[in-house]
Structure 1
């Protein structure tokens, strides 16, 4: 049996996340690993972007979108013959994913990433895989990187 038996896929529906889903599928089949998928409702960042004016309707729309995105990922994995469990998690993405990975005891965390160039490298948030690598001791972080934007 492989030492990598539990995988966690961070999925938000972006191209990067779709590439990560493909890689996660391949790895799950190769390793016979169980897969959990998390979709994050990051109301903290959304509230900051809206100057603290995020209403209840907008919050419920964020949660609805996350549920739909999660369902899409579960269906795509099922199409590849993988039974996955989905979870909606709340909070800042890196905090929520770290909490879930720790409670799930994930051996592998798969996340998508798109390399940025120019000023975008400086103005955007720090990539999640860097923060996860610092927080998740004992887990392998697999970052699926798409070409420069």
Structure 2
């Protein structure tokens, strides 16, 4: 079914939920997961796990988040590859999906109100306008406890 899954991953709680769901699918299908993080140069600050970072160390922090995602997938028995790109997230996700000939794109769902969604946009919705393959928007079920481990617990490191 799925052989190449592209996971847009940023280490946020929504991104970690997408990681969990991509992991389950990859294990069921024997797929390779390509983790993709995107640094949007138009954003002046990155926020991961309620920690903010300046653009000077942004690449370093994003690479740590990607590495932790790959480690989690590999510990579960998945084949995982990571890549860091710069640009507008929707464009980079679509471009990467085409480059790797992805069967499925997995993104997290950021819960925000109507006005915020209108102002900020939705990556998942934007991808639907020009989908290169199937798209899964991972949403955490209200009925089950979170199975998402925060990044600090995975690394054993505290906040910096």
Aligned counterpart, 2:116: 120
Q: Which structure: greater helix fraction? A: 1
Give the deviation of 1:60 after TM superposition. Answer: 3.7
CA distance in 1, matches of 2:115, 2:58: 28
1:21 pairs with one of 19, 22, 32: 19
2:39 pairs with one of 34, 38, 41: 41
CA distance in 1, matches of 2:116, 2:79: 37
**Alignment deviations for residues 112-144 of structure 1 (CA, whole Å, 9 cap, x no partner):** 012323543343x1110111122223x110001
Secondary structure at the aligned position of 1:135 is classed as coil
The answer to whether residue 103 in structure 2 is matched with residue 107 in structure 1 is: yes
TM-score by length of 2: 0.76
**Alignment deviations for residues 81-116 of structure 1 (CA, whole Å, 9 cap, x no partner):** 112011011111111111111101111000001232
CA distance in 1, matches of 2:104, 2:114: 31
1:133 pairs with one of 128, 137, 160: 128
- Size of the alignment, in residue pairs? 136
1:63 pairs with one of 59, 67, 83: 59
The answer to whether residue 139 in structure 2 is matched with residue 145 in structure 1 is: yes
- Name the CA shift for 1:118/1:34 in 2 (closer, same or farther; >3 Å): closer
In structure 1, the gaps of 5 or more residues are 48-57
Checking the alignment, whether the CA contact within 8 Å between 2:31 and 2:78 is kept in structure 1 is no
The answer to whether residue 74 in structure 2 is matched with residue 78 in structure 1 is: yes
Secondary structure at the aligned position of 1:76 is classed as helix
Give the deviation of 1:18 after TM superposition. Answer: 0.4
Secondary structure at the aligned position of 2:78 is classed as coil
